Structure 1
Amino acid sequence: RGTDRVIVHATDQQLQLLLDSEMIFVDGTFSTASNGFDPVFLMHAQLFGQGMRVAFNIDMRFKQEATLFGKQFQPTHVASDFESAIMSAVRRVFPAAKHSNCLFHFTQCIHRKIMSLGLGADYAQVATIHQQCKELMGLSLMPICEVEQQFKRIREISSSSLDDLFEYF
């Protein structure tokens, strides 16, 4: 098949677990791969309520290749980080699946933005700014119907030095 090959590093048992899983977790090293190295793409399946790494360097074309195992690869729920390439691929490849993002990666994303805006010192040293940033991070834990109202509340009481962070949202 030339360059159209799908390279997957996994055992048959791991692939069966992945194909049978309704909930999968995906992650990649797209922005952290060193020069000269390709990014690694990982898939985790849910087993006994835990995410278990089952495949490495998997290509999204794997969905079509699942037929070799006599399976349809149709997870009902996909969780990922906030990498735009992954989010776009999930929507395209699994349009019927519910897609959610990881709390760890959400807070990490906000923290990186705080640092890139030059707010790191204030975040570390000014208790009110630290608290307001943590409240922003906590929005993802609230019922959806309350998020907008709480976002506005936090913005109203926040320091003007956080304006660029609020614009990021």
Structure 2
Amino acid sequence: MNSSSSTMSFVLSQKGKPLLVMDDYVFRLNKITNTTKYYRCENRDCTATAHTDLNNVLLKVNANHSHVIEPEKKEIRIFKQIVKERATKESTPIPKIYEEESAKMILKFSTIAILPSQREMSSSLNKARRLETPPIPDSSIFGILYLYTRTIENEEFLCVDKFIKRKTRILLFASNEHLKMLFQNSIVLMDGIFSTCPKIFDQVFTIHSIKYEQSFICGIGLLPDRKKSTYRFVFEELKGLAVRMNLVFSPSTIITDFEHSLADAIISEFPSSNQYGCYFHFTEAVYRQIQHLGLSSGYCSDGSFHNRLNLRVAKHHPNIWILIRCIQGEEIRFNHVLIQMIGGLTCRTKTAATNAIQQRIDTLYLRYQNNEITVDELLLGLSYVVAKNTSAKRKK
């Protein structure tokens, strides 16, 4: 066989060993010297061999195989490798991974006929997933492996890991790029997420910064409670990180929900900052009152980051390791979106309906500022906007 015309690729065996695939024949690594890797056909009765250098460049091949080609086996190996890799790196349920990858590969009938079923593969995949996952802690006192303190690109990521008091721990994840953006921008958003928080903590506390008219997640914390002292501790830690970077953490505008302890902590730590309630949380609060008065029957909305994190986690109250992996994935997304924005990408264009609703809100606040309406009339008007927006969403 002419080695220059051979198609060559590499896959991994079920035990993680490298396999050389050449023209649909599979070779196992036999030995390695200082200059050469020696491969042998995986069929023990076959004498075909192949040699590559240490950079996997083909040097020599003896492709006189004594058996017929079986391309289906190669496809199955590739399928198993992809499914196993996803199973060990994601929290997605294994049946879903199996279904998604089998649909993506568009396998031939002859391959499907001998492909192991999801049930047959589940045991080995669950075992592989367990081997990659540390023991799941049942309290806040646990060790964190080095892998979970770094970004996927192996940069420092766990910037705060401290106990406020016995059994009360705070973890804060942020890369240097996250912190740099947070400290250099004047508008900050803060919010808590509860359904995706591990049970050994109380909430996932997120800190966002606005740049290029886009919200960027700049810090994700795991907090033990919702006390003012806890929030102040987080802010003091961030101020200390800013000092070490020769920067200052003093945003001019902070947008939050309507949590009293968080608002009080912000007033204490950032007395010169302007604090505003997030409209999303405001409409939720207004709508709770609407429901109480019987003016409507349902309301469902959420922030894009919340939705994205929920999709990544794919379950309520995941274990700590699943959540950290999802947070590491968010750090990759942060870098990609930031580079795209620097390269000229613009924010998604607002729809006509969104602009119309925003105009109504602006008009109501302008009337209130001009003393044309009272506070009660402002709230009533906003409740109509919320109800109208909800009605439109329910019709879609």
Q: TM-score, normalised by structure 1?
A: 0.67
Letter in 2 for 1:49: E
The residue that corresponds to 1:134 in the other structure is none
**What are the superposed Cα offsets for residues 71-106 of structure 1, whole Å, 9 maximum, x if unpaired?**
111111111111112211111111101111111111
Greater shift, 76-85 or 142-151, is seen at: 142-151
Identity of aligned residues (%): 26
The residue that corresponds to 2:171 in the other structure is 7
What are the residue-to-residue correspondences of 1:29-48 with 2, within 5 Å?
29=193, 35-48=199-212
CA contact (8 A) 2:208 2:217 kept: yes
Structure 2: distance between partners of 1:35 and 1:69: 33
Q: 1:152 to 1:27 in 2, by over 3 A?
A: closer
> Which structure has greater strand proportion?
2
Partner residue of 2:216 out of 31, 44, 52: 52
Structure 2: distance between partners of 1:108 and 1:31: 17
Structure 1: distance between partners of 2:202 and 2:379: 41
**What are the superposed Cα offsets for residues 26-84 of structure 1, whole Å, 9 maximum, x if unpaired?**
11136995754321111111110111111000722222332111111111111111111
Q: Which runs of 5+ in 1 are unaligned?
A: 125-136, 157-169
The residue that corresponds to 2:260 in the other structure is 84
CA contact (8 A) 1:139 1:147 kept: no
> Which structure has greater helix proportion?
1
Partner residue of 1:17 out of 181, 187, 203: 181
The residue that corresponds to 2:247 in the other structure is 71
Equivalenced residues, count: 142
Structure 1: distance between partners of 2:378 and 2:210: 35
Name the SS for the 2:191 alignment partner: strand
Larger radius of gyration: 2
Greater shift, 43-52 or 142-151, is seen at: 142-151
Partner residue of 1:103 out of 272, 279, 282: 279
Structure with more contact order per residue of length (Cα contacts < 8 Å, sep ≥ 6): 1
Q: TM-score, normalised by structure 2?
A: 0.31
Greater shift, 103-112 or 5-14, is seen at: 5-14
Q: 1:105 to 1:141 in 2, by over 3 A?
A: farther
Structure 1: distance between partners of 2:195 and 2:245: 32
The residue that corresponds to 1:142 in the other structure is 365
What are the residue-to-residue correspondences of 1:106-121 with 2, within 5 Å?
106-115=282-291, 117=292, 119-120=293-294
Letter in 1 for 2:369: C
Structure 2: distance between partners of 1:155 and 1:17: 35
What is the root-mean-square deviation in Å for CA atoms of aligned residues?
3.4
Structure 1: distance between partners of 2:196 and 2:370: 35
The residue that corresponds to 2:296 in the other structure is 123
The residue that corresponds to 2:328 in the other structure is none
Structure 2: distance between partners of 1:140 and 1:31: 35
Structure 1: distance between partners of 2:379 and 2:242: 47
Name the SS for the 2:171 alignment partner: coil
Q: Which runs of 5+ in 2 are unaligned?
A: 1-160, 223-233, 298-359, 381-396
